[in-house]
Every structure is written in structure tokens, then in C-alpha cells.
Amino acid sequence: MLWGSRFEKKFDTAALDFTSSLSFDIHLIEYDIKVSKAHANMLSKIEILTVQENEQIQQGLDIILFKYKDGTWIPDISKYEDIHSAIEEELTKVIGDTGKKLHTGRSRNDQVITDVRLWIKNSSDLLIKSINQLQKSLITLAEPHIRTLMPGYTHLQRAQPISLAFHLLAYVEMLERDKKRFLFSFIEADECILGSGALAGSTIKLDREMVSKELEFSSISQNALDSVSDRDFILDFLNACNLTSMHLSRLSEELILWTSYEWNFVKLGDQFTTGSSLMPQKKNPDIPELIRGKTGRIFGNYLSLLTVLKSLPLSYNRDLQEDKEGMFDSFNTVNNSLIMMSALIDSIEVKKERYIEEIDGSFMLATDLADYLVTKGIAFREAHNILGQIVKFATDENKKLNQLSLKEYKNFSSVFEEDVFKYISAEHCLENKKTDGSPNPEMVEKSIEDWKEKFDGK
């Protein structure tokens, strides 16, 4: 124990098991060693350590990391409170009493959060890369389906025709916003707090700028009391995980619907589906179902830390040890979900002709007909009313819009001409769109080319 000399009785074994964070903060071992090496270099510069002592510490830390990676040193969870104490004790075993000098001018309070800040920066970068890959998979799937018609929905009711490519690009846009949030979490974590000590800095004139530069932080923190208790940047990271997971869940839900017998629109690769132990005909979309299901746990990790923080007085409290398990879990879950979703998208087969007949002349084109009347000089509200009457008439006659004659259209308005049938055609419905950001094939194709250019070389 790093603090045992103050106490007469040995710390209770069950209490150590309850309080130890080693089982999960061992994920920080490489960052902890990196931080310790930077701290030792700084202590050498300000002559707390000799050059020889610093060399010993640097070599000792390298040995510990090497032994950990090759499995010859595994810290005992029943013996240590955390990875920091485990490394410090092992360092003393490896290099002798010089190892006891490493902790000069720092506390585990500022040490652990410096580790976590480095971890958040790296993890944010990794998630951005995983999002990039999923975006590229979606764009690759979208490209041959610029004219593949499908219903667009509002209220889960068929609304207007769109293309599959247009639909997929909506998720590319969502994921782009997710990348911005992870970039924000990177920026928020990009502050070196080492040198803040337990809560009030140090009487030793530490060179915090030197450590910050060596660890590649952009700045140092300005208030030690805040620095050691701040977990806002973890909440920012977890919130970015929340929204990415939510977007993946929405995409999963649609894939689940599209693969159902009722939709029958896409087919997932056999390597990403399962069967039933009872029903031999089943082909289940387990991967998107699991991605959808894991979203609840990711949301819970965010809410858990938010609840921990809500009543904590400044500065450090042991409650803050609860900041890491959910953080690691959310990263692993979101990253794995992104990787699986990308592979899943790559496996998809699309039934291109699935909706053409249903869309051709359907009531989904009623809005296009209202716009047609507007181009003929009729006010939109009046056009809307006319189309409502036409839809009612067609429904009563059990006809689609393209099954009505020009004479029947003229019964509702004299401005209808032969060109009306272009507005109720599956062949032309996408081309009829004029606005930027619409499913017009030329605009969707341009959007895909813009995205491909953006990802070129990434």
C-alpha cells in the first residue's frame, strides 16, 4: 500500500477487494507508464532526480511494460488498489529505492486523470476512424442504388418516394455529426493536469509545460482544485458514444424491418445471420438486434457517471473511481458495433425492383401532383384540397393515380393536361425533385462523389 504507514492495522482483505480498481484500470497501463516517464524526465530537468536515476526509472518502466505485454508480470488484484500502485511497487523491485522517488510532486489524483485524458484522446481518434469506415461502406452500398426506389416514411406511414441511396446517405450525415462530437471530446480531453497534485499543486516548482509538451497536450490546466475533480470531458465522450449508438440503433431497426418477410427489401449475408434451434426456416438478423440492444447499456453508462457527479463537493472523492468501467465499456461496445455494422452493410444484397410497381401511380405521389397544380397557377392550399378529393375518388374507385384518365382529372380541375402523368410515374418521380438535398438522382450522385472525394486516401 502506498499509504499504509499511517495505520496500525492492515487494510481488510475484503475491503481491498471492494475498493480495488485494478481489474479495469489496468487498461491504462501504457498511458500510466507514458505519464510516469514524462514526469521522471521533468523531475530530472528540475534536478529532483539525477540523470542516472532518471535513466534507471526510464529503463525500469520499459521493463515493466515489456513484462506485462509478454505475460511475465501480471499485477495481483488481491494485492493492489490500482494500476498506479502496482507499477510503483514493481518499479522499486526492478530498480531498487530509486523507484520510490518517482511519485515526487504528484498524487494519484492528478496521475490517473492525466492517464484517462490520454486514453480519451486516443479512443476518440479510433472511433472517428471506425465511423469513417462505416460511412465508406454506406457510400459503397449507395452508389449502385441511386435510382433504386423505396418508400420514404413519416409516422411509419408511406409518405413520398425516395431512393435507397438517398436513405443511406442520411446515415452518412448522422455519422458525420458523430465524428464532430468525438473531435470535441478529443479537444476537451486535450489538457494536461499533471502537477495539480491532490488538489492544490506542489511546493516543488514543477515544470508542467515540459510534461504537457512531452505528452502532446495542447495546454495545461489552470486550477488544481477543478483539475483533479473534472470529469466533464468523460461525460462529453460518453455522450458522443450515446449518439453514435443511437444512430446505429436506428439503422439496425431499419435493417431488421427491411429484412422481414413483410418488407422483403434487403438480404443480409449468411455470415451475419443466425437460424433457430426449433424453426428450420428462420434467418434472424441477430447482429443488428444486438447492436440495437446494447444501446441501453451505453445510455446507462452515461447516466451512471452523471449521477455520481451530481452531488460531489470539490475536490477529489473516491466516488470518482466509478468513472472508468462505463467509459471502457462504452468505447468497446460502440467500436465493436461500428465494425460489425460496416461488415454487415458490406454483405447486403438489395432487391432493386421491390417497390417500383407499388410506387408507380401510388398515393405517395399526391404531393407531387399538388406541386404540379401550383405550377399551373393554383394556390397550394387549393391544390392540396383538390388532391384530397382526387385521392378519395381514386380510393372509392379502387384505382391508383396513374389509372385515372385525363378526363377524370379534369373533373377536379381544368388545368390538368397530358403532362400530369409524368408526375405520377415511378420512372420520373425522382427526377421531378428540384431542390438541393432532395433524392433527385443527379444530386444524390453529386453527393456520393463529394463524399468519395472527402474520403479519398483515408
Q: Do the bridges between strand 149-154 and strand 349-350 make them parallel or antiparallel, or are there none, so unpaired?
A: unpaired
d(CA 401, CA 367): 12
Do the strands 349-350 and 157-163 form a parallel or antiparallel pair, or are they unpaired? unpaired
Based on the number of CB atoms within 10 Å of its own CB, is 143 exposed (0-12), middle (13-18) or buried (19 or more)? middle
Distance CA 429, CA 418 (A): 16
Rg (CA), the chain: 31
User: How far is C-alpha 52 from the chain's CA centre?
Assistant: 45
Task: Tell me how far CA of residue 457 lies from CA of 132, 238, 449, 453, 454, in angstroms.
Answer: 12, 29, 14, 9, 8
Which element (helix H / strand E) includes 230?
A: none
Please give the helix or strand (H or E) that residue 402 lies within, else none.
Answer: none
> Topology of domain 357-455, per CATH?
Ribonucleotide Reductase Protein R1; domain 1 (1.10.40)
Nearest CA among 246, 194, 237 for reference residue 216: 194
The alpha carbon dihedral of 209, 210, 213, 215 has a sign of negative
Q: 4-104 and 109-356: same fold?
A: no
Domain borders along the chain are: 4-104, 109-356, 357-455
Per residue in 406-450, pLDDT (tens digit) is 999 999 999 999 999 999 999 999 999 999 999 999 999 999 999
Q: In this model, does residue 132 exceed pLDDT 50?
A: yes
CATH of 109-356, one of 3.40.50.20, 1.10.150.20, 2.40.50.70, 1.20.200.10: 1.20.200.10
CA distance 163 to 343: 22
**Whether residue 315 has a cis bond before it, omega within 30° of 0:** yes
pLDDT band at 3 (very low <50, low <70, confident <90, very high): very low
**pTM attached to this predicted model:** 0.94
> pLDDT tens-digit profile of 357-402?
999 999 999 999 999 999 999 999 999 999 999 999 999 999 999 9
269-299 pLDDT tens trace: 999 988 888 888 888 999 999 999 999 999 9
| Residue range 84-104, pLDDT digits in tens | 999 999 999 999 999 999 999
- Residue appearing with cell numbers 521533468: 42
CB-count exposure of residue 184 (10 Å: 0-12, 13-18, 19+): middle
- Cell of residue 396, nine digits: 372509392
Which amino acids are annotated catalytic? 155, 276
In sequence order, the 6+-apart residues with CB closer than 8 A to the CB of 419 are none
| pLDDT, greater one: 118 or 80 | 118
Comparing CA positions, the residue from 9, 10, 26 lying closest to residue 77 is 26
- Torsional sign, CA 302, 305, 311, 315: negative
CATH 3.40.50.720 for the 4-104 domain, yes or no: no
